[in-house]
Amino acid sequence: MTVRFTIVSALQVLTFVGALVSLLGRIVSALERIGGSPTSSLAKVRFGVRAIEKETSHLGPQVVSLNQGLVALGGKLSVVDSHLGSVAGKLDGGKGNG
């Protein structure tokens, strides 16, 4: 009885491993069709992403410089805002006296 269970278990394991190998082979062939050749869709996307990365690589330092300038401008605009607020207050006060 134990020998029969051992043989059945071994056959089940071999069947499982065979199915696993077969399915993995199908997955590999499907993946090779998607991206295995230089003319595949995946290769074209990869080429496009690299081209975009190359064309925009110079933007990084410029964005840092632009951000620093905008921060400085933001500080100066708060001063302008306070001056305009005081002017608006004086203009509103002048309307009541007219």
How high is the pLDDT of residue 95? 63
**What DSSP line would sit under 34-57, residue for residue?**
HHSSTTSHHHHHHHHHHHHHHHTT
Burial class (CB in 10 A: 0-12, 13-18, 19+), 21: exposed
Q: What is the DSSP letter of 63?
A: H
How high is the pLDDT of residue 26? 95
Q: What is the mean pLDDT of residues 79-84?
A: 90
Measured distance CA(51)–CA(73) in Å, rounded:
34
More confident residue, 31 or 18: 18
Q: Is the pLDDT of residue 4 over 60?
A: yes
Q: For the segment 22-55, what is each residue's pLDDT rounded down to a tens digit? A: 999 999 988 887 777 777 778 888 899 999 999 9
